Structure 1
């Protein structure tokens, strides 16, 4: 029995990680309540989950708050920019959907491609600003570069996001299930899975002496 409660026991480590993810999820949700803080909260979520993936500093609240404060301005600017981009794309869809010509059908397909690229860039950019010290413009450029430079990872992330959206739109029951899971640990678990991918990507760009990494 004493072996079971040993902190180094794989089962206990797994249980501890689950509790950490639940705690992180709750902190993330509460920090997103003002809506305008979603960008900074997302970058902080990525910062903490990447540390969890790498087995580093386990202090959830301290690390979350540290990243939230450091990336508040940058994360908020990118969040507002992302909202404007998707509002613009939504207006384009509204206009195009009112037309039934072959030309507009082609434009609609191209617009879907643009949406996927935009989504991919915003999936990358918040982890980038949480992990690397760079300007907002450079962070967006790096996000675009990584989107296409690591296409297999990008496709995996899009599939995960697409599956979640599909479950939300599939039926009322699956939507409710997604909402319940998201309230418990959904956001942090997805961020943790993404951070496994980001860990492999970011290591390619980290200097041997990480002086420019937070």
Structure 2
């Protein structure tokens, strides 16, 4: 019986990680309520998720808000840039879609390629901010380089988010299911899955005798 409830028991370790992800999900959602704080919240979410993947046993609440505070300025700037670019290219794509002709077909393809590259870089930039000490320009530059340099991982994450997007638009039931899961544990589980990829990617850039990752 004592072994069953021992912290070294794989089942208890699993339950502990599930609880951590549930708590992390709630904190992330609450910290995103002011729209402008989403960038810092994403950085903090990735910071804690990466530590969970690497089994560093972080303090979830304390660690989240520490990472949130240390990455607030940089995360907010990157978030606002990302939102501005999204609306800019979405507006351009809508205009091109309303036009007929081969020229505008080519324009739509180019815009779609740009949007996909920006989306890939968006996946990488907040984990980079959370893990490394670098300027905003360096973080954005490295996000573009990594998303192209580690294309298999990028495609895996695209497939994952593609499945989520498909479920959101497939039917009302699947839409409600995704929203319900997201409110319970979806954001933290997604971050955890993505950071399994990022942990392997970052190993190639981290020094062999790694100091504590930057918050």
TM-score category of the 2 structures, normalised to the smaller one: over 0.9
- How far apart are the structure 2 equivalents of 1:63 and 1:126? 16
- How far apart are the structure 2 equivalents of 1:168 and 1:103? 32
Matched with 2:20 is 20
Q: What TM-score comes out, normalization by structure 1 length?
A: 0.97
Q: Which runs of 4+ in 1 moved over 6 A?
A: none
Deviation at 1:209, TM superposition (A): 4.2
Runs (5+) with no aligned partner, structure 2: none
Alignment of 1:111-190 (within 5 A): 111-190=111-190
- How far apart are the structure 2 equivalents of 1:49 and 1:123? 14
Instruction: Specify the SS of the correspondent of 1:36.
Output: helix
**Residues 120, 147 of structure 1: 8 Å contact kept:** yes
Deviation at 1:98, TM superposition (A): 0.6
1:55 corresponds to 2:55:
yes
RMSD: 1.2
Matched with 2:192 is 192
Deviates more, 1:130-139 or 1:10-19: 10-19
Distance 1:105 1:196, change over 3 A: same
- How far apart are the structure 1 equivalents of 2:169 and 2:31? 26
1:33-53 CA-to-partner distances (Å, cap 9, x unmatched) read 001000000000000000001
Alignment of 1:74-89 (within 5 A): 74-89=74-89
Q: What TM-score comes out, normalization by structure 2 length?
A: 0.96
